Amino acid sequence: MNSMTGFGSASLRDRRMDIDVEVRSVNHRFLTIKQSMPDTLARAESEIGQMVRSRVGRGSVSVNVSVKSPRDAEPSLPDLKTFKAYAKQLRDIQKALGLKGEITMEDLLAIPA
């Protein structure tokens, strides 16, 4: 890194989680690294610190990581085609195991998406 002042960000979005990473640096006489991340990533702090140290000689560097589960966002239901497939699979299981009973909406909603 030629300049000690800079900003960068990156994001990853998939079905399981949304991850945002921001890195900021300002001029400083020594190397100071501040990290902010969820407790679930605490094990990665030393590795992230090593990554910064290997690329930056001095300055004050802040690394902020946020992780959100899509479940934190608005809930959504599977589409009708998916529900029909779930119901068919449940009926197939009932038939294979010789079970009786009606398949209810509660049964369908209890299946993890």
Q: Do the Cβ atoms of 33 and 63 come closer than 8 Å?
A: yes
Same domain, 28 and 49: yes
Same domain, 102 and 62: no
Same domain, 87 and 59: no
Q: Structure pTM?
A: 0.58
Same domain, 16 and 33: yes
Strand partners, 64: 22, 36
Is 1 a domain residue? Answer: no
What Cα–Cα distance (Å) separates residue 52 from each residue in 22, 25, 65, 72? 13, 11, 14, 30
- To which residue do tokens 């779930």 refer? 86
Q: What is the pLDDT of residues 3-49, one digit of tens each?
A: 678 999 999 988 788 999 999 999 999 999 999 999 988 888 999 99
Same domain, 98 and 55: no
Same domain, 53 and 87: no
Same domain, 48 and 29: yes
Residue ranges making up the domain that contains 84: 80-109
Q: What is the pLDDT of residues 35-84, one digit of tens each?
A: 999 998 888 899 999 999 999 989 999 999 999 886 655 666 678 888 89
Domains in the chain, number? 2
Distance of alpha carbon 84 from the chain centroid: 29
User: Who's near 111: CB < 8 A, 6+ residues apart?
Assistant: 86
